[in-house]
Amino acid sequence: MASVTISGVEKWFGTLEILHGIDIDIEDQEFVVLVGPSGCGKSTLLRMIAGLESISDGEISIGTRVINDVPARNRDIAMVFQNYALYPHMSVFDNIGFSLKLRKRSKQEISEKINEAAEILDLTPYLERSPRQLSGGQRQRVAMGRALVRDAQVFLFDEPLSNLDAKLRVVMRTEIKALHQRLKTTSVYVTHDQIEAMTMADRIVVMNKGRVEQIGTPMDLYDFPANLFVADFIGSPS
Ligand code: ADP
Ligand code: MG
């Protein structure tokens, strides 16, 4: 079971408190979207779940396992970033398989995994290309492929679509949701785009200045915003 439990989580950078005791219970196979203005701490929280940032206080668990002290590579987590961070000198094939090579899997196993991911993401014809020769949407799919081959139970997305044009964003939203359902993963998806949040989320977490303002389904938030901040955020066009 890949539920993600965040309890009393704080983040301090030196003497500056960035997250002030965050509590979020994410269910197995749920698609949860974190929204909130720039600088409110969304990426920091995601990076703490991924193990890229230490946890100053509180606990994060996956299933029943507390992961505070588990190194990033041993967490059952894959992360897709905003700037896809592809290796320009490697083919699509090698970009997708890179993390498996680091893990010392056999050549055959690596190749099977890459081909399987490419099939799912419609990248099979492009495996020998370099990232330069791909469109924005295809590059984003390669980034997802890298996450996919890791067989992770938890997927983290940090504004993965913000570099794409509006039309492609709509297509990719649907693709990401389809992937989530197909792989039966638990997903935590960060965006500052309320339309994206409303259309993709099982539940939305509205954050502001390092605190959670409200957690609920898109309908809950729309019908019963807990305060003016949530109402403004959900109600205003992006
Ligand atoms: P968001 O993703 O919601 O835009 P971030 O999590 O990136 O917000 O940042 C939250 C706050 O933490 C910001 O004020 C940012 O300047 C600060 N911050 C992020 N990383 C560091 C760091 N390594 N050192 C000091 N402050 C940081
Ligand atoms: Mg961010």
**What is the mean predicted confidence (pLDDT) over 105-130?**
93
The mean pLDDT value of the chain amounts to 92
Q: For the ranges 13-22, 83-92, 125-134, which has the lowest average pLDDT?
A: 83-92
pLDDT at 85: 78
Give the pLDDT band of residue 236 (cuts 50, 70, 90). Answer: low
pLDDT at 3: 97
**What is the mean predicted confidence (pLDDT) over 201-230?**
96
Tell me: pLDDT of 61 over 80.
yes
Task: Take atom 25 of ligand 1 and give the residue whose Cα is closest.
Answer: 13
- Residue 110 Cα to ligand 2 midpoint, Å, equals 32
Tell me: pLDDT of 212 over 80.
yes
| pLDDT tens digits, 1-10 | 799 999 999 9
pLDDT at 84: 67
Tell me: pLDDT of 182 over 80.
yes
**How far is 220 from 234, CA to CA, in rounded Å?**
11
**What is the mean predicted confidence (pLDDT) over 35-47?**
95
Which of 75, 115, 76, 109 lies closest to 93 in space, CA to CA? 115
From the CA of 38, give the closest atom in ligand 1.
4
Q: For the ranges 35-44, 63-72, 226-235, which has the lowest average pLDDT?
A: 226-235
Helix ranges, 7-165 (H): 42-50, 92-102, 107-120, 136-148
Query: What is this structure's pTM?
Result: 0.92
Give the pLDDT band of residue 237 (cuts 50, 70, 90). Answer: low
Beta strands in the chain (DSSP E): 4-13, 16-26, 31-35, 57-62, 65-66, 77-80, 154-158, 186-190, 203-208, 211-216
Which tops the pLDDT comparison, 15 or 85? 15
204 contacts: CB under 8 Å, gap ≥ 6: 32, 33, 34, 35, 197, 198, 215, 216, 217, 218, 221
Ligand 1 pocket (Cβ < 6 Å) reads: 13, 18, 36, 38-44
Task: Take atom 16 of ligand 1 and give the residue whose Cα is closest.
Answer: 39
From the CA of 53, give the closest atom in ligand 1.
23
pLDDT at 2: 93
From the CA of 45, give the closest atom in ligand 1.
6
Stated length of the chain: 238
- Provide the pairing of β-strand 31-35 with 186-190: parallel
**What is the mean predicted confidence (pLDDT) over 153-170?**
89
- Residue 232 Cα to ligand 1 midpoint, Å, equals 23
Specify which residues 6 forms β-bridges with. Answer: 24, 60
**What is the mean predicted confidence (pLDDT) over 57-80?**
94
Q: How far is residue 74 from each of residues 52, 67, 149, 150, 153, measured CA to CA in Å?
A: 12, 9, 15, 11, 12
**What is the mean predicted confidence (pLDDT) over 117-126?**
93
**What is the mean predicted confidence (pLDDT) over 83-99?**
88
- Provide the pairing of β-strand 211-216 with 4-13: unpaired
Is the complex ipTM more than 0.90?
yes
